[in-house]
Amino acid sequence: MKSIIILSAIGFLLSIYAFYVKKNHEKNKSYKPFCDISKKFSCTKAFSSKHGNLIGVSNTLFGIIFYPIVFIFALLNQAQLIFFLSIPALLASLYLAYLSYIKMKNFCLVCSLIYLINFLIFIFSQ
């Protein structure tokens, strides 16, 4: 469970950063965070795309809610609950990775780290 605790804490911090980047970019279109390396390596391109929201809610907010829940369940040693929560997170990550890499032809460093964390949480919760 220690690995899931660490992963969920990192996922939470990355989600907070993603939210910060998204909000700053909304306020100032010329804002350039460290994760915007080029036109094809851009987190703001991913966050500001039509796929950056689900049912009108920013994907970053889902992470801000998801990772503390996983963190608490890990502290309570509830691997089965974490496993069931990690399934939709993993599926969403696969779908968003497809959209980013294939459809948008964009690499988002922060997104990719979040996808990796979701995959690892899924693996470690089994």
Tokens linked to 106: 């964009």
Tokens linked to 14: 């990355």
Closest by CA to 96, choosing from 81, 80, 74, 118, is: 118
Check: CB of residue 18 under 8 Å from CB of residue 47: yes
The 3-state DSSP class for residue 55 equals coil
Domains and CATH numbers, the chain: 2-124 (1.20.1440.130)
Check: CB of residue 90 under 8 Å from CB of residue 118: yes
Per-residue pLDDT at 15: 97
Tokens linked to 54: 């689900």
Question: Tens-digit pLDDT profile for the chain (126 aa)?
Answer: 999 999 999 999 999 999 999 999 999 989 999 999 998 999 999 998 888 888 888 899 999 999 999 999 999 999 999 999 999 999 999 999 999 999 999 999 999 999 999 999 999 999
